[in-house]
Structure 1
């Protein structure tokens, strides 16, 4: 069974299945994160929805570049979780299946191209306490407890 974070499923709402790929990007003791401005400011692991015809790894590369301006290498799957959420950008309720990877940040190629996103580096322990989504914080904690090894 895949662990759930956040609100439980509401019986009176119709949810769309929305798989996504997200990534832990370590460098030294810091993580590369994205701050997304919207209805509320959110600190997140970079990543997002997997588009039709796209593999999770292809989506991961695309989303990280859009949200942070960085290229990544050697992604490896770490954990998955699900959550039920309103997606204001798309105006629908989703059952999100979040695949979390760990990868190496290679180099920046410019600022984020996704409107409302800001790339920032944060100490791993502070990030774990500050991430908006408790599923993201859980994934980072799992990675740290497993030895916080960067991809090889």
Structure 2
């Protein structure tokens, strides 16, 4: 069974399964984050939903580019977790199945193309506290301990 991080599911609430892929993109002691303005301003690992019929790696490359303007390489899966949350941008309660990867940012092609996202470089030690969800913080903390 996959580890649950964050809020406990609400009794009687129906959740939509929502697989996603997210990346810790390292350059030295910094990582590339996306700052999402809405629905709530927060720093996030670049990534997002994996569409039906889409493989997680191409989905992750697509999401990284949309949210940061960067291309990444050497993506390696670190693990996965579940989180139960309301997604106001989609007006749905979701059971997010989050796969977390580590990789290397290799080329900035443009500014982010997804509206309301900004690419931000941040020291890993600061990013642990800045990230918006417990699962992302846990995976980044674990990676820092291994370095």
TM-score (norm 1): 0.94
Equivalent pair of 2:39/2:89 in contact (CA under 8 Å):
no
Equivalents in 1 of 2:144, 2:41: separation in Å? 25
Equivalents in 1 of 2:88, 2:55: separation in Å? 24
SS at match of 1:25: strand
Q: What's the CA shift for 1:146? A: 2.1
SS at match of 1:67: helix
Bigger drift between 6-15 and 20-29 goes to: 6-15
Q: What's the CA shift for 1:40? A: 1.5
Q: What's the CA shift for 1:52? A: 1.1
Which consecutive residues of structure 2, in runs of 5 or more, have no partner in the other structure?
Answer: none
4+ runs deviating over 6 angstroms: none
Match of 2:2 in 1: 2
Match of 1:79 in 2: 79
**What RMSD in Å do the two structures reach over aligned CA positions?**
0.8
Which consecutive residues of structure 1, in runs of 5 or more, have no partner in the other structure?
Answer: 148-152
Q: How do 1:79-98 and structure 2 match up within 5 A?
A: 79-98=79-98
Equivalents in 1 of 2:131, 2:69: separation in Å? 20
Match of 1:150 in 2: none
